[in-house]
Amino acid sequence: MEFEFSKILEQALSWIVSHIDAPLWDITIIILLGTGLFFTITTGFVQFRLFPASIREMWFGRATEGNSLTPFQAFATGLASRVGVGNIGGVATAIALGGEGAVFWMWVTAFIGMSSAFAESTLAQLFKVQDKDGSFRGGPAYYIIQGLQSRCMAVSFAVALIFTFGFAFNSVQANSIVEATQNAWNWQGEYVGLALVILTALIIFGGIKRIAVISSSLVPMMALFYLIMAVIILGMHTEMIPNVLSNIIKSAFNFDAAAGGMFGALVSKAMMMGIKRGLFSNEAGMGSAPNAAAAAHVKHPVSQGLVQMLGVFVDTMIVCTCTAIIILLSNNYGNETLKSISLTQTALQYHVGEFGVHFLAFILLLFAYSSIIGNYAYAESNIRFIKNKPWFIFLFRLMVLFFVYFGAVRSGNVVWSFADTVMAVMAIINLVAILMLSPIVWKLMKDYQRQLRSGKTPEFNISDYPELSKRVLDYRIWK
């Protein structure tokens, strides 16, 4: 019965995706790039000016208070969802379908997206609420309903996020784990799926605090292992790296292969795949990381905005770039039979032998598993926004576990396409919201910079801004 239901669901998702994905992404590209450029310019290139401050805020944000997350834990939880399959399978898919030039458009998406990430996470901090146990929660649904006074828009975003992170993205993570472990150890998808369901259940029934503890331990370790391997491989081929980077830039502006849609030849496959996979990987402007950002205890909303901005840089400009160069330095690029995880695994096999296949399978288990629990943390916050009842949350957790198994046993094409579609819906709602709330972002940034220039440790006092205290539900947090 379960097998038949998942098969019917796969067919339904395939039909939905085939009819709405292309036109939806035409709209998403305009809003995504436009919003990123808007905040980049209006904040005076915050990505550059306050980049050193973002490192300080992340590194020294380790002190905890009550049940709230530290800034570092919130950074790690956000990075847990960012750094994962998108950095390995997503990059490979982008290159396989869009060519080397897709990597350039991933960089562009990340660079301008850092300003969007800064804006959304700053807003999430300002409009967060505090639970009875002292922990914080928030995100786009919270700043939409408080800042824009639109419950309909807030609920729409919450539902979109739940489908994207609770269901679609977790299906992608599980599907990628199955692909990697089948290639390395010939593990069967059904058994891997069941194991993932059990391991995920052990974490998600422990609450978001446990998720943060696990993420803050796993993420630095897994990222370090992967980057060490990447540095070793890049060191073996240093003389070839300039040529690889040159080919990436040249291919980025090759519009011979159009992506289709209403843009026609104006958007190449490289651009489309780079933007899609870039957004999947770094989530800048999508509205996901603010859910983790809101859970942190900081003295100023901008502090956590800077921390989450740094996460976008680490994800795409460092981890994704390493994966791309590893693939492009191998002799497997251009093989149409190799996509996603398989392409990255065969690239590692080319560089370091059979060990590379097993190494990536192990690392991917850590990447994807931490992403599953990070994704769940985002979705749970929005479930609580819609209906904060124990029975409702329990049912949601069961649905999450079902989609973990669904992703493990169903087609990779369907799972990725489903993720692309719901991701676009979620991003559009959030990007429109932060554009409408941009004056508040500018006001908070000016307050932070004013205190920074005077030699103070920035600390936000909402009493200085009575117009904001009227809109912030839990304004006592900032007194």
Summarised one tens digit per residue, pLDDT across range 222-246 is 777 888 888 899 999 999 999 999 9
> Is pLDDT of 107 > 90?
yes
Model confidence, pTM: 0.86
Among residues of the chain, what percentage have pLDDT more than 90? 44
pLDDT computed for residue 257 by the predictor: 52
The most confident of 223-227, 400-404, 409-413, by mean pLDDT: 400-404
Q: Give yes or no for residue 415 having a pLDDT over 80.
A: yes
267 — pLDDT class (breaks 50, 70, 90): low
User: H or E stretch including 160?
Assistant: helix 151-161
Structure tokens at 268: 């190449």
* 371-397 pLDDT tens trace: 888 788 878 888 988 888 999 999 999
Q: How confident is the model at residue 270 (pLDDT cuts 50, 70, 90)?
A: confident
Which region among 8-22, 178-192, 381-395 has the lowest average model confidence (pLDDT)? 8-22
Given a contact cutoff of 8 angstroms between Cβ atoms, the answer to whether 400 and 203 are in contact is: no
pLDDT band at 64 (very low <50, low <70, confident <90, very high): low
pLDDT for res 89: 82
Q: Which residue has the higher pLDDT, 206 or 364?
A: 364
pLDDT score recorded for residue 49: 94
Distance, in Å, from the CA atom of 240 to the CA atom of 224, rounded to the nearest integer, reads 24
Question: What are φ and ψ of residue 130, in 5° steps?
Answer: -110, 130
Contacts of 193 (CB under 8 A, 6+ apart): 174, 178, 404, 405, 407, 408, 409
